[in-house]
């Protein structure tokens, strides 16, 4: 039994070591290095000397008082995207509408996101998602379908939005982090290819989110309960819920 635990410990260490800064300075501990990776000046963003994880430095996203959706930051220099399949970003605090660009793809968070979540790419930025996290959460972007011919990463912010959101440790990796792998093993949805009904494997309050980041259906699911989605258009959706205290997101395809 001790040998098994040792192997698991080594495995976890290997996963952890696979994560690297997505671009130079993306841990925000050296602000000058971070700024050297940007293609444009920060908007509605500033340095927080001790607002990061464990009192380290972080990026603080502030109010966007303008009447335009903006790019808070765009990193397009000193990028480390070779072999990257997942991007993880740590967040704490409150944001108005927020979304992301990675390479040639767009990513939207569901409204009121307050726990760890994994996002799939969508067709456009919606800016309607928001974060409300009293403690640090991890937003994971599945960038396995991203073309890095556009080698950049951006955080985008909704017009006229109120924000006090701290950002730390933007990392890239070829695999999901250990915690994310455990979370995705929860069988929230039994049938990931759907005709008219989603069948649930766990009890949870769930949200169905389209590829524009819009919540199109909610339900209080129980084990083996069914949710009718016959009225939804064909396409890809993300079903999110909480199982055993862990945020779980599963991709479904409606035929």
CATH number of residue 189's parent domain: 2.60.40.3080
53 versus 177: the higher-pLDDT residue is 53
User: Which of 102-106, 111-115, 179-183, 215-219 is the most confident on average?
Assistant: 102-106
- The token duo for 227 is 């949710």
245 versus 129: the higher-pLDDT residue is 129
Residues 59 and 152 in one domain: yes
Task: Tell which of 154, 175, 196 closes a domain.
Answer: 175
- Domain range for 215 is 181-254
Task: Tell which of 175, 201, 221 closes a domain.
Answer: 175
Say whether pLDDT at 183 is over 60: no
Task: Tell which of 151, 175, 199 closes a domain.
Answer: 175
| 85 within a domain of the structure (yes/no) | yes
State residue 212's pLDDT score.
77
Distance CA 196, CA 1 (A): 46
State residue 103's pLDDT score.
96
Q: Are strands 153-157 and 70-75 parallel, antiparallel or unpaired?
A: antiparallel
Distances (CA, A) of 169 to 56, 120, 140: 10, 20, 12
Regarding pTM above 0.75, the answer is no
> What's 98's domain CATH number?
2.60.120
How many independent structural domains does the chain possess? 2
Distance CA 45, CA 60 (A): 6
Residues 37 and 112 in one domain: yes
Residues 167 and 194 in one domain: no
């Amino acid at each position: 039994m001790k040998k098994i635990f040792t192997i698991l410990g080594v495995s976890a260490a290997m996963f952890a070591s696979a994560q690297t800064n997505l671009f130079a300075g993306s841990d925000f501990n050296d602000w000058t290095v971070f700024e050297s990776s940007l293609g444009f000046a920060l908007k509605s963003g500033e340095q927080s000397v001790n607002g990061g994880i464990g009192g380290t430095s972080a990026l603080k996203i502030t109010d966007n008082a303008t009447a335009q959706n903006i790019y808070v930051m765009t990193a397009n220099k000193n990028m480390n995207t070779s072999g990257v399949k997942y991007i993880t970003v740590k967040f704490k605090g409150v944001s108005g509408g927020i979304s992301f660009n990675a390479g040639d793809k767009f990513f939207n968070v569901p409204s009121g996101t307050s726990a760890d979540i994994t996002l799939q790419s969508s067709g456009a930025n919606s800016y309607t998602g928001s974060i409300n996290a009293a403690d640090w959460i991890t937003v994971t972007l599945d960038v396995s379908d991203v073309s890095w011919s556009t080698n950049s990463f951006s955080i985008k912010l909704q017009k006229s939005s109120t924000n006090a959101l701290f950002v730390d440790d933007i990392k890239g990796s070829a695999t999901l982090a250990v915690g994310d792998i455990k979370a995705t093993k929860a069988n929230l949805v039994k049938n990931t290819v759907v005709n008219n009904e989603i069948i649930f494997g766990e009890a949870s309050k769930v949200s169905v989110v389209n590829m524009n980041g819009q919540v199109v259906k909610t339900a209080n699911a129980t084990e083996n309960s069914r949710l009718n989605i016959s009225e939804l258009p064909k396409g890809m959706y993300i079903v999110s819920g909480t199982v055993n205290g862990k945020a779980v997101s599963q991709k479904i395809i409606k035929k």
